[in-house]
Amino acid sequence: MPASYSGSAQAANEVPGAIRLVHAHYCRFDRCRVEHVGSYGIEVAEACRHIQVRQCEIRDLGAGGVKVWHGCRCNTISDCEIGDGGHLHMSAVGVLIGRATGNQVAHNHIHDFFYTGVSVGWLWGYRESDTYGNIVEWNHIHDIGKGKLSDMGGIYTLGEQPGTRLRFNLIHDVTSRTYGGWAIYPDEGSSHILIENNICYRTKCAPFHQHYGRENIVRNNIFAFGREDQVARSKEENHLSLQFENNIVYFREGRLLSAGYHGQIKPDNAVFRNNLYWDASGRKLDFCGKSFKAWQATGMDPGSRVANPRFANPDRADFRLRKGSPALKIGFIPFDLKDVGPRR
């Protein structure tokens, strides 16, 4: 690599792909291998549309796996193994989507990167964005961060992106060097995103963390075994930041909630309702310095419960609900991730 690529900032976004498409329409990579390259594997760049990367093996990478960059639309990365990357550029991402629209990242096995598994969006704050309608679903994402870099996640988003959906993903073993080992991480203005039916566990920091954003919906997820926190929101703003509802939060170490800069989460800028919380260590739960009763008295978490969800075997990551689980009483709808990852 040339000296200008010897190091890179966020997502190693300057690093090109070993295979690069420009202004291409309706091309498909089907059952291909891209291995042992010093860059990203495949780059979809400059107004490409309807490109498919499916059933491919993209591994042993100097940077990341697939980059879909600005101005691209309606591209699909599906049923691939994308892993063992970042060997030259540690900040690279398994699948990187910039200011792009209508792309789908589905049924992939994404693993062993030092920064982030899937990153979507490339605007900071609330400026008008041309990133919308991207779908990240049915992916198995694990062994991310590996204690090398910080401020990262299994799935990471930036900026306003209405219609983006993060759903049915299995994310685990996310470990940052210092702060920011999160499983799902809506960062810097991430807004109007639906996050549902994901299982996230074994993270250094919280399985779910929102820095700041507007009107995100976080529902019917299982968040478990964060070492420092379980659910975090950093920045308080004068609008609705998120709806957190029908989720199960299960842990035995660290804090339940982290309220970031201001130390509080209040009902005038966040909706928490119909959730189930359980600390398997037996400690009394702390809701930002309040008891559960006092927390509910502020208007937070109506319809929520503190009870054991009765998972089948949480220590072995079996989060199926046993008969009679109280999770059903808060409106949690069981879902099965046995089909996560590549379809054969």
**Largest CA-CA distance found in the chain, in angstroms, rounded:** 61
Please report the domains of the chain, with CATH numbers, ordered by start residue: 19-330 (2.160.20)
pLDDT in tens, 124-133: 999 999 999 9
If we measure between CA atoms, which residue out of 253, 246, 240 comes closest to residue 221? 246
Give the pLDDT confidence score for residue 261 in this predicted structure. Answer: 78
Q: Which DSSP state fits 100?
A: -
Closest CA to 171 of 141, 144, 197: 141
pLDDT confidence tier of residue 344, bands split at 50, 70 and 90: confident
**Beta carbons of 84 and 58 less than 8 angstroms apart:** no
Region 57-81: mean pLDDT is 98
Q: How far is CA 197 from the centre of its chain?
A: 12
User: What is the model's pTM?
Assistant: 0.97
- DSSP, collapsed to helix, strand or coil, labels residue 143 as strand
The pLDDT tens digits of the residues spanning 257-309 come to 999 877 788 898 999 999 999 999 999 999 999 999 999 999 999 999 999 99
Contact status, residue 64 vs residue 95, Cβ threshold 8 Å? yes
Structure confidence at residue 185 (pLDDT): 98
pLDDT at 194: 98
Residue range 306-337, pLDDT digits in tens:
999 999 999 999 999 999 999 999 999 999 99
Burial call 185-199: b when 16+ CB within 10 Å, e when fewer: bbbbbbbbbbbbbbb
Contact 289, 263 (CB under 8 A): yes
Plot region of 14 (φ>0 → left; ψ -120 to 50 → alpha; else → beta) = alpha
> What is residue 2's predicted lDDT score, i.e. its pLDDT?
62
Residue 8 is predicted with a pLDDT of 79
| DSSP assignment string, 17-33 | EEEEEES-BS-EEES-E
Q: How many CB atoms lie within 10 A of CB 183?
A: 32
Residues 6+ apart with CB under 8 A from 137: 104, 105, 106, 107, 165, 166, 167, 168, 169
Of 241, 257, 260, the closest CA to residue 195 belongs to 241
- The arithmetic mean of pLDDT across residues 178-184, rounded, is 96
pLDDT at residue 5 tops 70: no
Given a cut of 60, whether residue 6 has pLDDT beyond it is no
pLDDT of residue 1: 54
Contact 154, 141 (CB under 8 A): yes
For 24-50, what is each residue's pLDDT tens digit? 999 999 999 999 999 999 999 989 999
In angstroms, the CA 314 to CA 57 distance is 31
Mean pLDDT score of the chain: 96
Instruction: Using DSSP, state whether 305 is helix, strand or coil.
Output: strand
Dist CA 335 CA 196 (whole Å):
10
151-166 pLDDT tens trace? 999 999 999 999 999 9
Closest-CA residue to 81 (of 259, 305, 341):
341
